Amino acid sequence: MKVLVSDKINEEAIKIIKENGIEFDYKTNLSEEELISIIAEYDALLVRSDTKVTPKILEAGTKLKLVGRAGVGTDNIDKEKARELGIVIENTPFGNTNAAAEHTITMLMMLSKHIIHANESMKKGNWDRTFKSTELKGKTLGLIGFGNVGKKVAKVAIALEMKVIVYDPFIEENKLKEIGVKKAELEEIITKSDYISPHVPLNDKTKNMISEKEFEKMKNGVKILNVARGGVINEKALLEAIKKGKVTAAALDVYETEPPTNQELITNQKIITTPHLGANTSEAQTNVAIEIAEQVVLALTKKEVKNCVNGLKQFR
C-alpha cells in the first residue's frame, strides 16, 4: 500500500503512516497535470484544502481507494465522481471543532465591541472614548446548521446569556432542548435574529442561501458572521445590505473565491475579515492530522471506512 500526501500536514500524520509500515510520498504544490501523471501509483491520497481533487485526477488514480481530507470541508474534492468510481472520501469532523467555534465566538464579540477601530485610533495617538459597543446579553443568535461547531458556539452563547435559535432540519427538537436552544424555521432565523451565523457545508442546497431576498427580510441593524464556507452568503448581496444600512457589521473568515478577489469586500470598514483561519490553530492541525492518518491506516490495513462523506460503505 502506498499513500500520497499532497498538502502540508502536521508531521504526526506522517509518523503514524510510517509506523504502520505503509509507504508514502510527501509532495506538495503539485499542479493538476503533475498529480494526474503520478496518482496511479497510490492507494490513497491525503489532502487538506489546497489540492483540488478533480474528476481527471480521480479517473487517473486507477489504484486509488481513498481520499482523506484533514479537516471538515470537502468541497475541494469531487465527491460524486469519487462515488461513481468507488473511491471513498473521508473527512475529520471532530479535530478542529473547538478551533472553529472559538473563532466564531471571537468574531461575534468583535462585531459587538469596537476593539479593532479603537485599537487603530489609540495607535495613532488618539484618546477617543466615543466608540459605543453593544452587549450580547439578551440578543438573539440565529444558527443555521447545528453540527459539532454550531453546538459548541451555542453553548458559549448561552453562557453569555444570549437567546439561541437554530435551523437544522436534521436535528430533533428534543436534542436542541437538552442544550437550551430553540428550534426554528429558516424564515424565523432570518427575520428575528440580531446575529446570524451559518454552520453548514457548501453544496447545491446551501450555496447563496443568504442572498438579496433574505437580507431584505432581516432586522435593521443585523450582524452577519461566516466561519463556515464561502458561497453560503452571497457577497455582492451582503455588500449591498451594508450600503443600505440593513446590515451594520459583518465578520468573514471564508469567501466565495479564496484568496478573495472582491477588494470592496475586504476594504469595507464595516466588515471584519480573516484569511480562513477558523481551524488554523496548532492544536487543531495536530488533531486533524492524527485523525485522518489513523483513518487512512484503518482503511488500508483493515478495510474499515470511517467518516465517509460520499455515501460509500467500502471502497473498490
Judge contact between 146 and 199, C-beta under 8 A: yes
If you average pLDDT over every residue of the chain, what do you get? Answer: 95
Which amino acid is it at 192? Answer: K
Q: Which pLDDT score is estimated for 178?
A: 86
Q: Could you tell me if 81 and 196 lie in one domain?
A: no
Question: Domain range for residue 37?
Answer: 2-95+282-302
- Please report whether residue 308 resides in a domain: no
Give yes or no: residues 249 and 135 share one domain: yes
pLDDT band for position 90 (cuts 50, 70, 90): very high
Collapsed DSSP state (helix, strand, coil) of residue 314: coil
Task: Answer yes or no: is 313 within a domain.
Answer: no
In a domain, residue 103? The reply is: yes
pLDDT classification of 18: cutoffs 50, 70, 90: very high
Catalytic residue selected from 48, 114, 199, 276:
276
Q: Is 229 a catalytic residue?
A: yes
Supply the pLDDT for residue 174. 86
CA distances, 166 to each of 32, 73, 82, 175, 200 (Å): 40, 21, 32, 11, 12
What amino acid is encoded at 145 in this protein? G
310 lies in some domain: no
Secondary element (H or E) of residue 284: helix 282-302
pLDDT (0 to 100) of residue 177: 86
276 in active site: yes
Q: In what order do the strands lie in the sheet with 66-69?
A: 23-26, 2-5, 44-47, 66-69, 88-90
Q: In terms of domains, do 267 and 148 share one?
A: yes
pLDDT for 172? 87
Residue 310: C-alpha distances to residues 76, 78, 93, 305, 313 (Å): 13, 9, 14, 11, 9
What mean pLDDT do residues 32-56 have?
96
What's the pLDDT band for 118 if we cut at 50, 70, 90?
Answer: very high
Backbone angles phi, psi at 206, to 5 degrees: -100, -15
Q: Is 90 exceeded by the pLDDT of residue 149?
A: yes
Which are the contacts of 282, defined by CB distance < 8 A and separation ≥ 6? none
**CATH code: domain of residue 71:** 3.40.50.720
Q: Is residue 54 part of a domain?
A: yes
Which residues are CB-contacts of 72 (< 8 A; sequence separation ≥ 6)? Answer: 91, 92, 93, 96, 100, 201, 279
- Choose, from 135, 258, 283, 304, the residue flagged as catalytic: 258
The string of pLDDT tens digits covering residues 246-283 is 999 999 999 999 999 999 999 999 999 999 999 889 99
For residue 197, the model assigns a pLDDT of 98
What is the tens place of the pLDDT at every residue in 156-193? 999 999 999 999 999 888 888 888 999 999 999 999 99
* 294 band by pLDDT with thresholds 50, 70 and 90: very high
Give tens-digit pLDDT for 199-240: 998 888 999 999 999 999 999 999 999 999 999 999 999 999
Q: Are residues 118 and 37 in the same domain?
A: no
Instruction: Check pLDDT > 90 for residue 314.
Output: no
Asked if residue 231 and residue 158 are part of one domain, the reply reads: yes
Report how far residue 47's alpha carbon sits from residue 91's, in angstroms, rounded to the nearest whole number.
Answer: 10
Active site residue 256: no
For residue 315, being part of any structural domain is answered with no
* Residues 91 and 106 both lie in one domain: no
| Angstrom distance (rounded) from CA 88 to CA 287 | 21
Which pTM value belongs to this model?
0.87
Domain total of the chain: 2
Q: Which of 48, 114, 229, 291 is catalytic?
A: 229
- Does residue 266 lie in a domain region? yes
Q: Given a cut of 90, is residue 75 above it in pLDDT?
A: no
Residue 54 confidence (pLDDT) above 90: yes
Do 106 and 154 fall within a single domain? yes
